[in-house]
Chains A and B, each alone.
Chain A
Amino acid sequence: MVAGRNASGMASELGSMVVTEQIDAMRALGTDPTKKLVTPRVGATAFMLFFLTIIADLLGLIGGFGVAHLLFGLDTQQYWTSVWQVLVFRDVFTGLIKPVLFGFIIATIGCYYGMSTRGGTQGVGRSTTQAVVAASVLILITDFFVTKLIFAIFGYR
């Protein structure tokens, strides 16, 4: 979802700046567009996706509590106690290391396709599509290998 939203946003924004010569203007004004436009986006996405995941996990737990309590009549204390008991360090580590990697991938791919845009507004559309596809596929591949690596380090449960 974030790959679709952010990679496309970055690719289209930077792509539009390329085709309207704003990137050339920035270089002409003595500023490195990579430092000015790419680095902050990559850093901010990796940083914020980490916290977004914490919020999403928390909302997931609250949602789970709603279903368990309202639909199945599970006791409040019983639900939160069992949640606390099954939660282990590896789950938290895995859940929070991946968003940082994914954030890095999403922003890097979005910025790369944006900055390599050629061919006017048609090129902006092409870059946006390519960014979403590449980011999504790369996230799936990375997810597979990172999960394998974490399992290799911490062992299977």
Chain B
Amino acid sequence: MPAPTLPSENPAAAVASVSGYAIEFDKVAIAFDENVVLDGVSFQLPHGETKALFGVAGSGKSTLLKLAMGLLRPDSGRIFVLGEEVTRMSEQELFELRRRVGIVFQESALFDSLKVYENVAFRLMEERISAEEVERRVREALRFVELEETYDMFPSELSGGMRRRVAIARAIITEPEVLLYDSPTGGLDPVTSNTIVELIVKQRDVYKTSALMVTHRLQDAFTMATHQFDKATNRMVVLPKGQRGDVPMSFLILRDGKVIFDGDARDLATSRDEYIREYIS
């Protein structure tokens, strides 16, 4: 299914911050009561790369995204996002940084009392942008996720997949430099999942957006590692044999609060670690 276009394709804006990494975790630890969720997690996400995060349920994947967004504070360690140390910033300073980062929550987290266009336009309306400009950009974003017809609907009138796509539209409307996806394809049918994977690949290859993607679906991440977005045909195409994995895509696996794998698709496929082999089989 060809993905629709956003008119202002400006990869330069996506890589405005050229020094350091898009996201860097340095020995980050967090526990809830006695339950240690992350224990000394360190990794880097280079600019323009998409990193898929794996781990069994409760391994701290969603917590990791919330830490990156500054929605949670770690007990120890440092987190850098777009060169800024999130762990030292006040909530007010974080509001500014969050304007450059988009997030898609696991259950979409759309505001149920607002219509779809108000949800997608939320950030723009907060920035007091003119109504005409807001409508134009909301329609573009909804066209991007192929849901322009839902403009006047409430989230309760949408299916799970549609809500997820509206959440993506809300996250990308300000053309963020970093995107965080929390199980964007979880619980969706294969066709809808594929549409969402294609949207994520397009964000990676066309807009050069750096992304962290939590997922349980290994096949989605492997699809992203073996495909690239073709601007000419406006769709995702499979890479030729031998070039598969030559896209800015990496994998990270968490186990018992620690990183047990951080590498690309080839490293993952050739890993000799028993747990990893069992995980990907």
Residues of A within 8 A of B (CB): 17, 20-22, 24-32
Please measure, in the bound complex, the distance between the C-alpha atom of A27 and the C-alpha atom of B109, giving whole angstroms: 12
Q: Do A32 and B107 have beta carbons less than 8 Å apart?
A: no
Q: Do B107 and A20 have beta carbons less than 8 Å apart?
A: yes
Known contacts A30-B123, A31-B95, A31-B126: A24-B107 contact under CB 8 Å: no
Kindly supply a per-residue 1/0 record for chain B positions 105-124, scoring 1 wherever the CB is within 8 Å of any chain A CB and 0 otherwise.
11101111000000000110
Chain A residues with CB under 8 A of B98 = 27-30
Chain B residues with CB under 8 A of A27 = 69, 71, 91, 94-95, 98
Q: Do B91 and A29 have beta carbons less than 8 Å apart?
A: no
Q: Do B122 and A22 have beta carbons less than 8 Å apart?
A: no
Please measure, in the bound complex, the distance between the C-alpha atom of A26 and the C-alpha atom of B69, giving whole angstroms: 12
Is the CB of B99 closer than 8 A to any CB of chain A? yes
Chain A residues with CB under 8 A of B66 = 24
Please measure, in the bound complex, the distance between the C-alpha atom of A28 and the C-alpha atom of B95, giving whole angstroms: 7
**Residue of chain A at shortest CB distance from B182:** A21
Please measure, in the bound complex, the distance between the C-alpha atom of A17 and the C-alpha atom of B112, giving whole angstroms: 9
What are 29 A-B contacts with C-beta separation under 8 Å?
A: A17-B111, A20-B109, A21-B105, A21-B106, A21-B107, A24-B66, A24-B109, A25-B103, A25-B105, A25-B109, A25-B110, A25-B111, A26-B111, A27-B71, A27-B98, A28-B69, A28-B71, A28-B98, A28-B101, A28-B105, A29-B122, A29-B123, A29-B126, A30-B96, A30-B126, A31-B95, A31-B123, A32-B92, A32-B95
CB within 8 Å of A: which of B48-103? 66, 69, 71, 91-92, 94-96, 98-99, 101, 103
Nearest CB on A from B44, distance (A): 22
Tally of contacts, chain A with chain B, CB under 8 A: 53
Question: What bracket does the count of chain B residues touching chain A fall in?
Answer: 20 to 34
Residues of B within 8 A of A (CB): 66, 69, 71, 91-92, 94-96, 98-99, 101, 103, 105-107, 109-112, 122-123, 126, 170
**Residue of chain A at shortest CB distance from B167:** A25
Please measure, in the bound complex, the distance between the C-alpha atom of A31 and the C-alpha atom of B126, giving whole angstroms: 8
Nearest CB on A from B118, distance (A): 12
Chain A residues with CB under 8 A of B126 = 29-31
Please measure, in the bound complex, the distance between the C-alpha atom of A29 and the C-alpha atom of B176, giving whole angstroms: 11
Chain A residues with CB under 8 A of B96 = 30
Please measure, in the bound complex, the distance between the C-alpha atom of A21 and the C-alpha atom of B126, giving whole angstroms: 19
Please measure, in the bound complex, the distance between the C-alpha atom of A148 and the C-alpha atom of B228, giving whole angstroms: 75
Chain B residues with CB under 8 A of A25 = 103, 105, 109-111
Please measure, in the bound complex, the distance between the C-alpha atom of A25 and the C-alpha atom of B69, giving whole angstroms: 10
Chain B residues with CB under 8 A of A20 = 107, 109, 112
Contact for A31 among B103, B106, B122, CB less than 8 A = B122
**Residue of chain B at shortest CB distance from A21:** B109
Nearest CB on B from A5, distance (A): 19
Q: Looking at B98, B101, B105, B109, which has the most chain A CB atoms within 10 Å of its CB?
A: B109
Please measure, in the bound complex, the distance between the C-alpha atom of A153 and the C-alpha atom of B98, giving whole angstroms: 51
